[in-house]
Each structure stands twice: as C-alpha cells, then as structure tokens.
Amino acid sequence: MTASIYDFSPAGIDGTPIPLRTFEGKVLLIVNTASHCGFTPQFEGLEALYRNYKDKGFEMLGFPCNQFGAQEPGDAQEIMAFCTTHYDVTFPMFAKIEVNGENAHPLYQFLKSEATGLLGTQAIKWNFTKFLIDRAGHVVSRHAPGDAPAGLAKSIEKLL
C-alpha cells in the first residue's frame, strides 16, 4: 500500500516525470482542471491562493482532464497557452490524465481511496475537484468542484 503521495511521479505538462517527493514538506492542493468548463474561472482563485501562500510552504498542482464533457480537448501547449493567457497561471501544471475508470492515473486512484466523496463514493464527479494534502503527504480533505478556492484558505492556513 502506498504510504503517501510522495510515491508518485506524474508527468509534467512537458512530459517530464516530476517526483512528488519534490514537494515533500509542503502543503499541497491537487486539482483536476479543464479549460472549457463552467468552473474554469476557478483558475483565478486557485492562482490567488497559490500566490498568497507559495512563500509559506504551499504548492498547487493542476492536472488537466478531458473526461467530463470533453472540456479539455487541447494538447499540452494549448492547455498552457490558455492557462497563462487567460488566468496568468504560474503554479505547476501536469500532463493531461484520466481521473476515473480503468485508465485513471495511479495518483488519482490513491487520492480517491484516501478521501471519498459524497456518500462514500470514490469517483471524481467533475472538473475542479480538489484534494488538500498536509506536509507529511497525507490526504486531509476532498472538496467538490463547486467549492470556491477562497473557501479553502482557512484550511490551508491551519496546515501551514
């Protein structure tokens, strides 16, 4: 059994594996994202959280996903161009992944097993589901797509 998220090395947006151990000792917010979703404006709030807390031991990790309404159809370059042009995203973005089903990325299999959703379901329901991770790499909480990023500030502060 995997002990923490530090055992994973997902591909960065450029395809290079990024060991999550790189972020050991930091509070993390891991989010599955999409460029053409009703929740896409959350990039603004996510970036605000990142800029507010990044110098205090916080990291935001974005994982584009096209499993919900095909709302992330672009390739890596298109995704980064969209994120930087429209929302000035500076937090790390990773390669597009699947979060549900038999091809779900092992990181998301782990996250879902550690923090279930409403009524104990494991499946990710939509884009912008958020997982808050403590400095030891343990999943602290799971937040629904509709939960505004600003609403997570107090939880992040407690972990910092």
Residue 65 annotated as catalytic: no
pTM score: 0.93
Give me the residue spans of the domains in the chain. 30-159
Give the pLDDT score at 10: 96
Q: What is the mean pLDDT of residues 43-63?
A: 97
CATH number of 30-159: 3.40.30.10
Q: At residue 2, does pLDDT exceed 80?
A: no
Residue 119 reports pLDDT greater than 70: no
Identify the CA nearest to 142 among candidates 17, 160, 119: 119
Per-residue pLDDT tens digits for 70-97: 998 889 899 999 989 999 999 999 999 9
Q: How far is CA 124 from CA 15, 105, 134, 136, 158, in A?
A: 23, 12, 20, 23, 25
Catalytic annotation, pick one of 37, 60, 97, 132? 37
Q: 16-30, 58-72, 116-130: which has the minimum mean pLDDT?
A: 116-130
Q: Which residues contact 137 (CB under 8 A, 6 or more apart)?
A: 3, 4, 5, 6, 20, 24
